[in-house]
Structure 1
Amino acid sequence: MNSRNYLGLVGALLLAAGGLSPMVHLPIIGNWNYWDLHPGLATVVYVLAALGIFAAISGKGGLLKFVGWTEFFLILLTLAAVYFKVNDSFSFIPLKSLARAAAGLVHYRWIGWAMLLLGALIMIFSAKKQKAS
C-alpha cells in the first residue's frame, strides 16, 4: 500500500468515527449521533465507509473517489434535513418568535459533522488521478 491508500483509509475511518460522534444536542434528551438521527442513513454511511476501507486497501482509486463523493453529498443532505426538521418541528407554535426560540434550543455539535466531511474530502482527494492513454 502506498501513502495515498493509507490516506484513503484514514478518511474512511474518520467517517466511521464521525458517525459515532455527537452531531446534535437536544435539551433534556442529550446528544444524538448518526444512529439517533436516522438509522437508515447511518447504515448507508457505514456501508459506504466499509466500501471505502475496501477500496483504500485494494488500491481502487476510482471506487474510493466515488464513495467519497457519495458520502459528501449524503452528509450534506443529512445536514440540510436536520436543519429543516429542527426549524419545522416547532411550527405548531402560533407565535413565530417563540417557535424560533424553541428551535434555537437545539444545538449542532460541529465536531461530528466536521469529522464526517473531512473524512469524505480526504477520500476524494486521496484517490489517484487516472492517466490519459
Structure 2
Amino acid sequence: MRNLLSQKEHWSKESSNTMLINDKPLVDDIEKELLEKVRNLIIDQIDNPNLTVLDLADAMAASERKVYRLIKKLTGWTPHELIKEVRWHYIENLIRTKNLKNATEAAHAIGMKNVTNFKKQFHKRFNRTIEEMMAKNA
C-alpha cells in the first residue's frame, strides 16, 4: 500500500507534460466533446423515426453498452431519453424560427409518424398545444 501511494506521489510530482487519467479538466473536455458529437448525430438524423442507440453506437464506433453508460453518466438520461429531449428542443427551436404549416409537418420534422401521439406528447411536454405555440410564434 505504501508503495502504491509513493508511486502516485511520484507521478503527481512529474512534469506537466505527463497526462494523468485523473486530470479532471481534460476528462471534462473530452466528455463534453463526446456529448456534443452525440447531439450532432441525433440532429443529423432528427427526422428518422427508427433512430436507436445502436445507430449512435455505430456512428461513434463503440458498443451500445458503452454509449448507454457514457450518456447516462454525462446527462443522467438514458440514450432514448436524450434522443427525445434533443428532438423536443429541436422542434421548439423550429417553431420559433420557422413558420410550420401544421402539426403533421412538425411531427414529421422530428421523426414522429403518429401525429395524434405527437400532439399528446407535445402538450404534456410544453403544457400547451402545438397550435397555440405556432400561433404565438407566427
Fold similarity call, TM over 0.5: no
Higher fraction of strand: 1
Q: Over alpha carbons, which structure has the higher Rg?
A: 2
- Kindly indicate whether structure 1 or structure 2 has the higher relative contact order, using CA contacts under 8 Å at least 6 residues apart: 1
Q: TM-score range by the shorter chain?
A: under 0.3
TM-score of the superposed pair, with normalisation by structure 1 = 0.27
